[in-house]
Amino acid sequence: MKRRFLKCVVIGLFIAVLVFTGIMIWLFYLYQSVPNSLVYAFFGFCGGEAFFSSLIKRADVEDSANPASIEDDSDSGNESDSDNGR
Protein backbone atom coordinates (compact mmCIF):
# COMPACT_ATOMS: atom_id res chain seq x y z
CA MET A 1 0.00 0.00 0.00
CA LYS A 2 2.88 2.35 0.80
CA ARG A 3 4.34 1.98 -2.68
CA ARG A 4 1.03 2.73 -4.38
CA PHE A 5 0.57 5.88 -2.29
CA LEU A 6 4.13 6.99 -3.02
CA LYS A 7 3.54 6.52 -6.76
CA CYS A 8 0.42 8.69 -6.51
CA VAL A 9 2.39 11.38 -4.69
CA VAL A 10 5.15 11.38 -7.32
CA ILE A 11 2.63 11.51 -10.18
CA GLY A 12 0.75 14.34 -8.44
CA LEU A 13 4.00 16.21 -7.88
CA PHE A 14 4.95 15.84 -11.55
CA ILE A 15 1.53 17.10 -12.68
CA ALA A 16 1.75 20.03 -10.25
CA VAL A 17 5.18 20.99 -11.64
CA LEU A 18 3.89 20.87 -15.20
CA VAL A 19 0.79 22.94 -14.38
CA PHE A 20 2.79 25.48 -12.36
CA THR A 21 5.36 25.82 -15.13
CA GLY A 22 2.61 26.36 -17.70
CA ILE A 23 0.94 29.02 -15.54
CA MET A 24 4.24 30.81 -15.00
CA ILE A 25 4.93 30.81 -18.76
CA TRP A 26 1.43 32.21 -19.36
CA LEU A 27 1.93 34.91 -16.70
CA PHE A 28 5.26 35.85 -18.22
CA TYR A 29 3.59 36.14 -21.63
CA LEU A 30 0.90 38.44 -20.19
CA TYR A 31 2.92 40.63 -17.80
CA GLN A 32 6.56 40.12 -18.87
CA SER A 33 7.34 39.27 -15.25
CA VAL A 34 7.06 36.32 -12.88
CA PRO A 35 7.11 36.23 -9.06
CA ASN A 36 10.62 34.87 -8.50
CA SER A 37 10.17 34.16 -4.79
CA LEU A 38 7.08 32.05 -5.53
CA VAL A 39 8.96 30.11 -8.21
CA TYR A 40 11.92 29.48 -5.85
CA ALA A 41 9.63 28.40 -3.03
CA PHE A 42 7.54 26.09 -5.22
CA PHE A 43 10.47 24.32 -6.84
CA GLY A 44 12.28 24.14 -3.50
CA PHE A 45 9.25 22.45 -1.97
CA CYS A 46 8.94 20.05 -4.91
CA GLY A 47 12.63 19.22 -4.74
CA GLY A 48 12.40 18.53 -1.01
CA GLU A 49 9.31 16.40 -1.48
CA ALA A 50 11.04 14.37 -4.21
CA PHE A 51 14.15 13.96 -2.03
CA PHE A 52 12.21 12.69 0.98
CA SER A 53 10.14 10.40 -1.25
CA SER A 54 13.36 8.90 -2.56
CA LEU A 55 14.58 8.35 1.02
CA ILE A 56 11.33 6.54 1.86
CA LYS A 57 11.63 4.42 -1.27
CA ARG A 58 15.26 3.59 -0.54
CA ALA A 59 14.49 2.54 3.03
CA ASP A 60 11.56 0.45 1.81
CA VAL A 61 13.72 -1.31 -0.78
CA GLU A 62 16.50 -2.00 1.74
CA ASP A 63 14.02 -3.41 4.27
CA SER A 64 12.44 -5.71 1.69
CA ALA A 65 15.85 -6.90 0.48
CA ASN A 66 16.97 -7.97 3.97
CA PRO A 67 13.94 -8.81 6.15
CA ALA A 68 16.07 -10.50 8.83
CA SER A 69 18.13 -7.37 9.51
CA ILE A 70 15.89 -6.34 12.41
CA GLU A 71 16.50 -9.63 14.21
CA ASP A 72 20.26 -9.52 13.49
CA ASP A 73 20.63 -6.01 14.95
CA SER A 74 19.25 -7.05 18.32
CA ASP A 75 21.84 -9.83 18.66
CA SER A 76 24.84 -7.64 17.80
CA GLY A 77 24.94 -6.05 21.26
CA ASN A 78 25.73 -9.36 22.99
CA GLU A 79 29.41 -9.53 21.99
CA SER A 80 31.98 -9.75 24.77
CA ASP A 81 35.07 -7.57 25.12
CA SER A 82 37.34 -10.56 24.40
CA ASP A 83 36.03 -10.65 20.81
CA ASN A 84 37.20 -7.09 20.21
CA GLY A 85 40.86 -7.96 20.65
CA ARG A 86 41.32 -6.51 24.12
pLDDT per residue as tens digits for the range 25-48: 999 999 999 999 999 999 999 999
Task: Give the residue extent of every domain in the chain.
Answer: 2-65
Between 81 and 2, name the one with better pLDDT.
Answer: 2
Look up residue 75 and give its amino acid: D
Q: Is pLDDT above 90 for 82?
A: no
Q: What is the DSSP letter of 8?
A: H
pTM, entire model: 0.66
Q: Roughly how many angstroms between the first and final C-alpha of the chain, as a whole number?
A: 48
**CA–CA separation, 69 vs 82, rounded Å?**
25
pLDDT in tens, 53-62: 889 888 878 7
**Closest of 12, 1, 3 to residue 49, by C-alpha:** 12
Q: Phi and psi at residue 32, in whole multiples of 5°?
A: 60, 30
**CA–CA separation, 13 vs 45, rounded Å?**
10
